[in-house]
Structure 1
Amino acid sequence: MNRITYLVFISLVACTGRNSGTNQTSTTFPSDSVAVCHIGGIPSRFTLARQDSIVVRKGADDANMVFIQGGKFQMGSASFQDAQPIHEVSLHSFYMDEHEVTNAQYAKFVKETGYVTVAEQPLNPEEFPGVDPALLVPGAAVFTPNKDISGLNDHLQWWTYVPGANWKHPEGPHSSIKGKESHPVTQLAYQDAEAYAKWAGKRLPTEAEWEYAAKAGKHTNEPYYWGNEKKEDGKWLANIFQGTFPASNTLEDGFETTAPVRSFPANAWGLYDMEGNVWEWCSDFYRADAYFANNSKVNPTGPKESYDPQEPGLVKRVQRGGSFLCNDAYCERYKAGSRGKGEVNSPTNNVGFRCVKDIE
């Protein structure tokens, strides 16, 4: 399958007719170039200074969860147009997974339920008129380093649709998660993450809950959730991209793709990888004007439908935290208060999730 075929196929996969939840009207909202970002802990002052977190095990996955005391915070960022205006939000208390759901945890879910992810399911030729049925094989998008690019505006220059790529084979059929049981699971569509959360007796976080937990009680304008610098004592504080994107990753943080959970310092509330490693699905529909349109200030759940002016025909949900592909030259959306987005049926090898649970 040549590159042109891949590009056409990816476009068709993204534009499938599963559009429930989409609204074609929106407040005029300018786009920004950084919006398209994809389609044992280390001792630190951040962990030493953290509050006395209550860690419990809740749910069928037996995962450690951190008690997040409810409160008020300033949500948003002055650096990103779709994260404005900054506004006060109040949240009730909840539990949150201390780290992203791992390959081992997802494997337990699949073993007990027989669940088949979107990337593993056959594609219906009726949803892709005009495409050779022989090309409609299960698979997913995989990041492919590329030195021969023309600018950073066309993300399809470094994404390839790989038949056979799925959560068990994140980079394609010749890759494996063997030996990576503690890495975050990837190649999951939104419904794949939602199904796991339901099985575990949990749910996906709202983006307000996610941001509140990531800020961990801080009310500053620092660029990162942990502070002003990317390193402490010469060590990187998150798994992000170093080097020249997308051609060469210098691996200064030690990882080319995902890192095992707990490889980097936890925040002050005991939560790991709230920046970098993998993007995390949130339950909110994505709208660029969500903070203008949503008047709820207590436990907000986001807009009622999706609308992205850059791709108005696609249903998108919010993603938070950035991934191993983020850096300041390309994808700044790992920074504090910023928002990511993803088409709900388009898994990639840099997107995962974590769960939350209501207080009973």
Structure 2
Amino acid sequence: MIRRAAALTAVLLLAGVAGDDGSAEGAGASGCPALADDEVWVAGGPAQFGSDRSYQEEAPRYAATVKGFWIDRHEVTNRQYAAFVAATGHVTQAEREGGSIVFAPPGPGMLPVAPSQWWRYVKGADWRHPEGPTSDLAGRDTLPVVHIAFADARAYADWAGRALPSEEQFEFAARAGGAESLEQPAPRKANTWQGRFPVENDAADGHRGLAPVGCYDTNALGLNDMIGNAWEWTQSWYLPGHGPTAEAGEPNRSFDPAQPGVRARVIKGGSFLCAPNYCARYRPEARHAQAELAGASHLGFRTVARPVR
């Protein structure tokens, strides 16, 4: 069992990453088109991965070839996850532990110094209760499910006959053939922080909290929220060195790097709290480590079709 301090430490592996304040503002937003719970075909091919121009963990940039694959159009929603839980009785890590990590922005006039001042461990916080035991999912059916640990995401994927994407699959789909980018997306393009994080957010993109899937423009492949909104789990192990896997573009469950200490996976896509002055990871090539057992209020996932052997 993860103790409270250990859970917070695990989440803070995400140096430079902020979470989701769970604001219900995004939950009840109107004007976002309803999306089908379908998938999009991503034709494979050669590509460049990573970046030599930004955070250290994104380097070195390398070439690899990805096989074609199907990927969910949008992040798995609360509605979809509820169907899985109803069918299987699955109990998430946060529910078993009795709490999870929630982002709590500094109060007016406060000058935050470290990420530990922006997070708090909340008893009773889990996917059904995003801010704690007094919150619920009313009006949030189409928001990304959060407070999901790695095993919780993979259990859903197994139930659906699918898999979590590899790091290369996610980046290839998010890039949609586009070039490496370092600029913050325009407000209509992705749900990111608009202003000086964490004390000012003018919500120029329409949301201060998580947004329902479908609120922002798709990328060139027709995929939603590959950048911003919620960070997303991948199947890939997080290793200090950045380079192609043995089978680039395919999840590899058999490889275990025997990591010392906390076992971590790669998460991709950034969250709605990424801003130019902090967590500038609203880019396809951005990557970060996340402890397997640590969910949080900014972390969700989507799935891909299992490769045909």
The TM-score with structure 2 as length reference comes to 0.85
The 4+ residue runs of structure 1 with deviation greater than 4 A are 38-42, 300-303
- AA partner of residue 203 (structure 1): A
Q: Say if 1:240 and 1:327, in contact at 8 Å, map to a contact too.
A: yes
- Are 2:207 and 1:213 equivalent residues in the alignment? no
Match of 1:50 in 2: none
- Are 2:289 and 1:341 equivalent residues in the alignment? yes
- Which has more radius of gyration? 1
- Structural RMSD (CA): 2.6
Task: Tell me by how many angstroms 1:156 deviates.
Answer: 1.2
Q: Tell me, which stretches of 5 or more residues in structure 1 are unaligned?
A: 1-7, 17-32, 43-54, 56-61, 124-137
- Are 2:78 and 1:103 equivalent residues in the alignment? yes
**What secondary structure does 1:67 align onto?**
strand
Pairing 1:3-42 to 2, within 5 Å after superposition = 10-13=4-7, 35-38=15-18
Match of 1:230 in 2: 185
Task: Tell me by how many angstroms 1:9 deviates.
Answer: 5.2
1:221 and 1:290 map into 2 onto residues whose CA distance is 16
Task: Tell me by how many angstroms 1:230 deviates.
Answer: 2.7
Match of 2:133 in 1: 173
**What secondary structure does 2:38 align onto?**
strand
2:59 and 2:217 map into 1 onto residues whose CA distance is 29
Deviations 1:66-111 (A, max 9, x none): 1111111101112222111111111111110000000000000001
2:239 and 2:91 map into 1 onto residues whose CA distance is 29
Q: Say if 1:93 and 1:358, in contact at 8 Å, map to a contact too.
A: no
Match of 1:77 in 2: 51
Match of 1:263 in 2: 215
1:190 and 1:295 map into 2 onto residues whose CA distance is 20
- AA partner of residue 109 (structure 1): F
Pairing 1:99-248 to 2, within 5 Å after superposition = 99-121=74-96, 123=97, 138-147=98-107, 148-151=110-113, 154-218=114-178, 220-223=179-182, 230-231=185-186, 235-248=187-200
Task: Tell me by how many angstroms 1:214 deviates.
Answer: 0.6
Alignment equivalent of 2:298, drawn from 350, 353, 356: 350
Pairing 1:284-323 to 2, within 5 Å after superposition = 284-291=236-243, 294=244, 296=246, 298-299=248-249, 301=251, 304-305=256-257, 307=259, 313-323=261-271
Q: Say if 1:91 and 1:299, in contact at 8 Å, map to a contact too.
A: yes
Q: Say if 1:15 and 1:313, in contact at 8 Å, map to a contact too.
A: no
Q: Say if 1:77 and 1:86, in contact at 8 Å, map to a contact too.
A: yes
Task: Tell me by how many angstroms 1:173 deviates.
Answer: 1.1
Q: Say if 1:14 and 1:314, in contact at 8 Å, map to a contact too.
A: no
1:117 and 1:230 map into 2 onto residues whose CA distance is 33
**What secondary structure does 2:102 align onto?**
strand
Q: Say if 2:234 and 2:265, in contact at 8 Å, map to a contact too.
A: yes
1:240 and 1:295 map into 2 onto residues whose CA distance is 30
Deviations 1:114-155 (A, max 9, x none): 11001111x4xxxxxxxxxxxxxx01000001143443xx31
Match of 2:27 in 1: none
**What secondary structure does 1:290 align onto?**
coil
Q: Say if 1:188 and 1:351, in contact at 8 Å, map to a contact too.
A: yes
Q: 1:188 to 1:229 in 2, by over 3 A?
A: closer
Q: Tell me, which stretches of 5 or more residues in structure 2 are unaligned?
A: 20-30
Q: Say if 2:165 and 2:250, in contact at 8 Å, map to a contact too.
A: no
Percent identical: 38
Pairing 1:40-59 to 2, within 5 Å after superposition = none
Task: Tell me by how many angstroms 1:297 deviates.
Answer: 6.5
- AA partner of residue 85 (structure 2): V
Q: Say if 1:15 and 1:314, in contact at 8 Å, map to a contact too.
A: no
Alignment equivalent of 2:277, drawn from 329, 332, 340: 329
**What secondary structure does 2:85 align onto?**
helix
Q: 1:73 to 1:319 in 2, by over 3 A?
A: same
The number of aligned residues is 288
The TM-score with structure 1 as length reference comes to 0.74
- AA partner of residue 167 (structure 2): E
Deviations 1:37-92 (A, max 9, x none): 148768xxxxxxxxxxxx9xxxxxx9301111111110111222211111111111
1:268 and 1:242 map into 2 onto residues whose CA distance is 23
2:135 and 2:62 map into 1 onto residues whose CA distance is 44
